Amino acid sequence: MNLNRLMDDLEEISEGYARKFGIERTPDWYMMKLTEELGELMQSYLKCAGKARLDGESSLELRQSMEDELTDVIGMALLTARSQSVDLEKAFKRKWLKYLESPSSLD
């Protein structure tokens, strides 16, 4: 999966969603939506971990729900990055991938 292509597809879907429901995708909206999705992921995780009340879902349904919510978080994070003109390749190199060059800096 190509990250840039994925981000283009997510943007197209998000733009259509916003148009359909009359949503103005402001910087605040992206952050609030990301936070909302993170809350939904936490709820799904807690159910999977047996730490929240279940609503009759099977273990497969619980797992799929958690995967779906994690996907929503990642999708909204990517959309938020795009809306803020974040160069993810540069940011990942600066923040994470530098440790591949110098693993001792993890200590």
Query: Mean of the pLDDT values across residues 66-93?
Result: 98
In a 13 Å sphere around the CA of 81, the CA atoms on its Cβ side amount to: 19
Percent pLDDT > 70 in the chain is 99
| Confidence bin at 104 (pLDDT 50/70/90) | confident
Let me know how long the chain is: 107
Mind listing the domains of the chain with CATH numbers? 3-106 (1.10.287.1080)
Q: What is the pLDDT of residue 107?
A: 66
CA-nearest of 75, 70, 79 to 30 is 79
Question: CA 16 to CA 19: how far, in whole Å?
Answer: 5
Q: What is the pLDDT of residue 91?
A: 97
Say whether pLDDT at 97 is over 90.
Answer: yes
The torsion defined by the Cα of 88, 94, 100 and 105, in degrees rounded to 10, comes to: -150
Query: Mean of the pLDDT values across residues 60-76?
Result: 98
Query: 19-59 pLDDT, tens per residue?
Result: 999 999 999 999 999 999 999 999 999 999 999 999 999 99
